[in-house]
Homo-oligomer: A and B are copies of this chain.
Amino acid sequence: MFSSSRPDRRPMVEVLDLDIDPPHLGDNRGDLDRLERAITGKGFAPLRVHLSQVEELVRRMRKNRFRVRIVLGYASRQWEIVDILPRFSWEPVLGFAVDLGTSTIVFCLVDLEKGEVIDRLSLPNPQLPYGEDILSRILYAGDANNRKTLQQLLLDTLNAGFGSMLARHGFSSGNARALVVAGNTAMSHFLLGLDPSNICREPYIPAANHFPGGHALDLRLDLHPRAVLYVFPNVGAYFGGDLIAGVLASGLHRSSEVQMLVDVGTNAEVILGNRDWLVACAGAAGPALEGGVVERGMMAAEGAIDRVRIDASTIEPSCHVLGDVKPSGICGSGLIDLVAEMFYAGILTVQGRINTALDSRRITKQGGVPAYVLVFGSETADGADLLVSELDVGIFLKSKAAMYTILAVITRKVGIDFTGIRKFYIAGTFGNVIDPAMAIRIGMLPDLPVETYSGLGNASLKGAVSTLLDRSLLDDAEKVCNRIAYVELNVNMELMNEFRAALFLPHTDSRLFPSVRIPGKARI
């Protein structure tokens, strides 16, 4: 994880122990002024105290005879007093990082003193009944009451998540002093009760790119009321705070070398750059890459085949299944392996056709369309053959071609070629399990040395955790937003030609993939 490589990182919330000189006739400053001076004198400046805090701060400082432990939060480039405790009290300083996904909300409970993730929890997004896709929810939220409903659903789920995670470890809500949220632009709007209507209408304008910092009490979240709340900024309707968090997790914005980050979901979001420049674009790479659409495709969950190898001589496969169960489908990484292995075993031609001339019980037809049986019904969860048809492969190749096209176009736009990319991060639900060699073989990823590739997993969540633990990333997030140049990929003839060329295995121009050998049987 990016943050752990920086030993000088300082968390968003810090604890400061103070033995304050008590007042005397020669030093009769006011109590609050004395406290403020003691804090700012330790470098926590500028410090902002809210009027409503003064009474409690002074009372507790007096009660503890000027020996206090101060919990300080960093927000909007200022320090705030989150809490004041007795000098020798002990309680953990916790924070939550949340990846506010369209389908899934993932929580990390983080110990800010130890710099450790304590626990992790995923909950389904409670807005799913209002629309699987974000667009239907945005339309629904056009009405202010509906917007309130959608917001409250999120807040309730967040509170449920916070509560259960804290309780599981014997903590109380007051121990949680910070919350960092990474969500796409629409989800961030839902959380803050902002009207997302203009996100999906030309010219696609969010209510806000940068959200003011706040406190748990502003959203009535069950954390310490003055827990600092940070919601990652977005660059626009299509480039949300989740991606900004991802950039921070990769660290490419601080790199001297050119690096690339691809976050693969329903869209493929791509960031290319280094510490001097950043460009980004997004495109529909197709849900096939996540295991959707393809008939037996599924999310990377129990029962999903996530690894496939095929013996080229026998064309018999061996599969790895998630969980100790019979397979019920195939997920994204499994599909990449499958297509790559079918290609090298000569089952697939460079055009993606199934070689029906092969003599194997695994070559069959489904509704007249050639297909390959990956697992026979006797071994599957539902008793039906788990097969992949030529149609499935076609859909999949469109996705991989779209992905490659996006990568090629943006790289060309900035005037470099792929060999200029020194590090290539793959984020997303399958980002940490994808086998780069397989993805290269099918022409989905450029033909770079495999060590160039690095899986980031849930980069948004990692970026949120990193920010909790390294407050310098708060500034970085704003800088990344201000620096990033978003490139609109207009569908034009050039793009279409590029796309069509990428529909082949690995590509019509095999010079682009020198490491990929084309099997004889695949050439038809």
Contact = CB atoms under 8 A, between A and B. Distances in A.
B55 A205 contact: no
A374 B44 CA distance: 66
Interface string A194-216: 11001000111111111111100
B51 A218 contact: yes
A55 B195 contact: yes
A203 B23 contact: yes
Contact of A229 (B32, B51, B234): B51
Given A58-B194, A193-B55, A205 B49 contact: no
A7 interface: no
A87 B203 CA distance: 23
A209 B29 contact: yes
Contact of A30 (B24, B33, B54, B206): B206
Interface in A17-54: 23-25, 28-33, 48-54
A411 B54 CA distance: 37
A15 interface: no
A76 interface: yes
A33 B212 contact: no
A59 interface: yes
A426 B25 CA distance: 29
A93 interface: no
Contacts of A62: 198
A236 interface: yes
A170 to B, nearest CB: 31
B32 A203 contact: no
B218 A30 contact: no
A518 interface: no
A134 interface: no
Contact of A55 (B54, B194, B214): B194
A188 to B, nearest CB: 11
Nearest to A24: B203
Nearest to A32: B208
A322 interface: no
A203 B30 CA distance: 11
A60 to B, nearest CB: 12
A58 B195 contact: yes
A192 interface: yes
A210 B30 contact: yes
A192 B53 CA distance: 11
Given A24-B203, A205-B23, A76 B48 contact: yes
Contacts of A28: 203-205, 236-237
Nearest to A229: B51
Nearest to A204: B28
Contacts of A192: 51, 54-55
Contacts of A58: 194-195, 207-208
A193 B208 CA distance: 37
A234 B31 CA distance: 12
A297 to B, nearest CB: 34
A25 B194 contact: no
Given A30-B208, A207-B32, A194 B51 contact: no
A31 B208 contact: yes
A105 to B, nearest CB: 20
Given A25-B202, A218-B51, A32 B209 contact: yes
Interface centre among A33, A51, A192, A236 (most CB of B within 10 A): A51
Contacts of A211: 32, 51, 54
A210 B33 contact: yes
A192 to B, nearest CB: 7
Contacts of A210: 30, 32-33
B194 A54 contact: yes
Contacts of A213: 51
Contacts of A209: 29-30, 32-33
24 contacts: A25-B202, A30-B206, A30-B207, A30-B236, A31-B206, A31-B207, A32-B209, A32-B211, A49-B212, A51-B192, A51-B212, A51-B218, A52-B214, A52-B218, A54-B192, A54-B208, A54-B211, A55-B192, A55-B195, A55-B207, A58-B207, A58-B208, A59-B195, A62-B198
Given A30-B207, A31-B198, 17 more contacts: A23-B203, A29-B209, A30-B209, A31-B208, A32-B207, A32-B211, A33-B209, A49-B212, A50-B212, A50-B214, A52-B214, A52-B218, A54-B208, A55-B193, A58-B195, A59-B195, A62-B198
Interface of A: 23-25, 28-33, 48-55, 58-59, 62, 76, 192-195, 198, 202-214, 218, 229, 234, 236-237
